[in-house]
Structure 1
């Protein structure tokens, strides 16, 4: 008997955005990866104003995901909390300080057209 996922990718995305919004996350961006990647359906990037806020957002997200029946695959970066990655299987969430986010600019990287849609030379 195959267990069905408790939440589909869209519902998990919506849960994550709601949690981050409630936690006063700033500049919450959702990137649709369904046509670009096999590792996740959505990537969410949000900023927190302090390491304490970034860690609190990650903790709250993990807590709410577990309450909804989703066990995160992993959480990385909690100790420093300048950039915390929460892997919710179909949704990968990056929580960062504004300066860290500006430096890595992962939204720009993932917002570029997929290679298959790029102009051929």
Structure 2
């Protein structure tokens, strides 16, 4: 896991994101090398996670483009070879990113996992 990914995951974890998952897509797509998925427990929490992630990307000097800024289910932040998905609980189940990219190498970040 790259230093950038670790930093973003830590910032999400620090803001109590749920079910943080890192997916290494490798050569299975040209969309991105890595997806980071996180679940928010409310609309306010989703906004907090989105703002925190955008701030972290800026601090890292990475580009960012936000999609779905007003969506109650899914916010996507495109940072080039890295895409961050922030979901509501319902949105995560509905969109099923883990099912779509089921063959990707996946790391689920637990509360006890050092970053």
Structure 1 and Structure 2 fold alike (TM over 0.5): yes
Match of 2:113 in 1: none
Runs of 4+ in 1 over 3 A off after TM superposition: none
**What aligned pairs does 1:1-121 form with structure 2 within 5 A after superposition?**
10-72=2-64, 74-112=65-103
Shift of 1:35: 2.4
1:18-69 CA-to-partner distances (Å, cap 9, x unmatched) read 1110110000111101121122110111100011111110111111110121
Q: Higher strand proportion, which one?
A: 2
Which structure would you say has the larger Rg? 1
What is the TM-score normalised by the length of structure 2? 0.83
| TM-score, normalised via structure 1 length | 0.79
Consecutive unaligned residues in structure 1, runs of 5 or more: 1-8, 114-121
Contact 2:73–2:92 (Cα < 8 Å) also in 1? no
Choose between structure 1 and 2 for higher RCO, CA contacts under 8 A separated by at least 6 residues.
Answer: 2
